[in-house]
Structure 1
Amino acid sequence: MRTDSKEHEHIWLQVTSGRGPAECQLAVARLADVLEKEASKQGLACVLLDIVEGRERGTALSALLSLEGEGARAFAHRSRGSVLWICPSPLRPGHKRKNWFVGVEVLAPPDAGATALRTADVAFEAMRASGPGGQHVNKTESAVRATHRPTGLVATAREERSQAMNKKLALARLAGLLAEGANAAKADAERDRWAQHDALERGRPVRTFEGPSFKERK
């Protein structure tokens, strides 16, 4: 595989169930497996960096994949957004709902971009997560705010229930802001955008899978 700067790409791909039920978490695990296999067929190096397991066996609250190689970004953007799985619940027989949504986001790794990001220059602050969900909203301090001391740029992550995962996501987003040459106002906009990430965009899926076999609808 050629690795010159014009062709070699390195990105992160986050798959999340948001605050969806166990069926959405099952879809996360299935989709992560599909993406790994598709990336391999395309000749990309795909590594599962982290996975937050759900309560039910074989499910995942979220998964973080690393993709490297020519065409990695184009590959990732094909699944970016909302992904729908249409299937009667395999976990709750007789349940009426059949549509399960998960979210996919493309991120820049902390070491990517022309502007170097040193972890030593970043101040992390734990915050109490907030947003929709009523009694199901995360009441613990799992949200993370990452501040780049030299520039004052700020990025936050609050959609995951794991503080460790939110820390990784906040760092990745901060790296993206630096790579883009963003200013403080742009960082504020980025923070506000991610504050709304709890609610996955439903109704306009970029990919749709069906049935227990998780086969893609063409």
Structure 2
Amino acid sequence: MREVILHISAGQGPGECRWVVANLARVFAKEANSQRLQCELLEQADEKAASLLLSITGDGCENFAAERVGTIRWIGNSPFRPRHKRKNWYVGVGLAPSPGDTPQLKEGDIKYQAIRASGPGGQHVNKTDSAVRATHEPTGLSVVSQEQRSQFANKKIARLKLALAFEERRKSGEASAKTDLWEQNRDLERGNEVRCYEGVKFVLR
């Protein structure tokens, strides 16, 4: 079955942008289901998370992703700062890089460690050792995946997160020679938006 994985990111945006990321993941899930696509959130939709991974599977998933990759604008009042004058909030959506597309990420260089999951998530998270920490030993990059119920699934997602970390590290290295993180976020805001949602119900404009 065809699959694409979307990476929804707040970039260097404030807490409002992170809130938009979490809600946008839910909106995309509804939109995918309406097109008879299967949607799975690979990470917990925590409103404090700067980014999330979303798996879309089924015929037509590539077109679904293509219509959403780019800058997404949400119009609305800040859910945290009611008196804030800003009404436009921006997040970025991209295709997560495949581990196979990251030549530096060799399986033999990755050390996997089973750990006990932590944080919210109920009895499953608190009582199982299905969480996985993946460390790329040559660089020291390390990620944790704990949302899935099996070590196999968490191992797959951890490797995907490492590929994403490599990509972000590469982009950060390129950007550091030209601009700072604040300017990167300004670039996101100036980007041509591909979709725009409005209000707490995220109505598509």
Same-fold call, TM cutoff 0.5: yes
SS in structure 1 opposite 2:80?
coil
Greater share of residues in helix: 2
Which residue of 2 is the match for residue 5 of structure 1? none
CA distance 1:209–1:108, change in 2 (3 Å): same
Alpha-carbon RMSD: 3.7
CA distance 1:52–1:168, change in 2 (3 Å): farther
The 2-side partners of 1:18 and 1:173 are apart by 14
SS in structure 2 opposite 1:164?
strand
Match of 1:48 among 36, 41, 45: 41
Which residue of 2 is the match for residue 164 of structure 1? 144
The 1-side partners of 2:34 and 2:98 are apart by 23
Does 2:60 align with 1:71? yes
The 2-side partners of 1:206 and 1:37 are apart by 18
Read off the aligned partner of 1:62 and give its amino acid letter. S
Read off the aligned partner of 1:168 and give its amino acid letter. L
SS in structure 2 opposite 1:73?
helix
Which residue of 2 is the match for residue 119 of structure 1? 107
Contact 2:25-2:45 within 8 A present in 1 as well: no
**Which deviations, in whole Å up to 9, do the C-alpha atoms of 1:116-141 show, x marking residues without a partner?**
x86334489xxxxxxxxxxxxxxxxx
Contact 2:17-2:89 within 8 A present in 1 as well: yes
Contact 1:82-1:101 within 8 A present in 2 as well: yes
The 1-side partners of 2:45 and 2:24 are apart by 14
The 2-side partners of 1:120 and 1:52 are apart by 31
Deviation for aligned residue 1:164 = 3.4
Which residue of 2 is the match for residue 90 of structure 1? 79
What percentage of residue pairs aligned between the two structures are identical?
A: 35
Read off the aligned partner of 1:37 and give its amino acid letter. K
Does 2:20 align with 1:27? yes
Which residue of 2 is the match for residue 193 of structure 1? 171
For structure 1, the 5+ residue unaligned runs are 1-7, 125-143, 175-186
Match of 1:14 among 7, 18, 29: 7
Which residue of 1 is the match for residue 189 of structure 2? 202
Deviation for aligned residue 1:191 = 5.8
Which residue of 2 is the match for residue 104 of structure 1? 93
Read off the aligned partner of 2:163 and give its amino acid letter. L
CA distance 1:119–1:205, change in 2 (3 Å): same
Read off the aligned partner of 2:81 and give its amino acid letter. R
CA distance 1:15–1:202, change in 2 (3 Å): same
CA distance 1:193–1:94, change in 2 (3 Å): same
SS in structure 1 opposite 2:59?
coil
Deviation for aligned residue 1:171 = 2.2
SS in structure 1 opposite 2:193?
coil
CA distance 1:191–1:31, change in 2 (3 Å): same
Runs of 4+ deviating beyond 6 Å: none
Residues matched between the structures, number: 160
Read off the aligned partner of 1:35 and give its amino acid letter. F
Contact 1:52-1:62 within 8 A present in 2 as well: no
Read off the aligned partner of 2:144 and give its amino acid letter. A
SS in structure 2 opposite 1:83?
strand
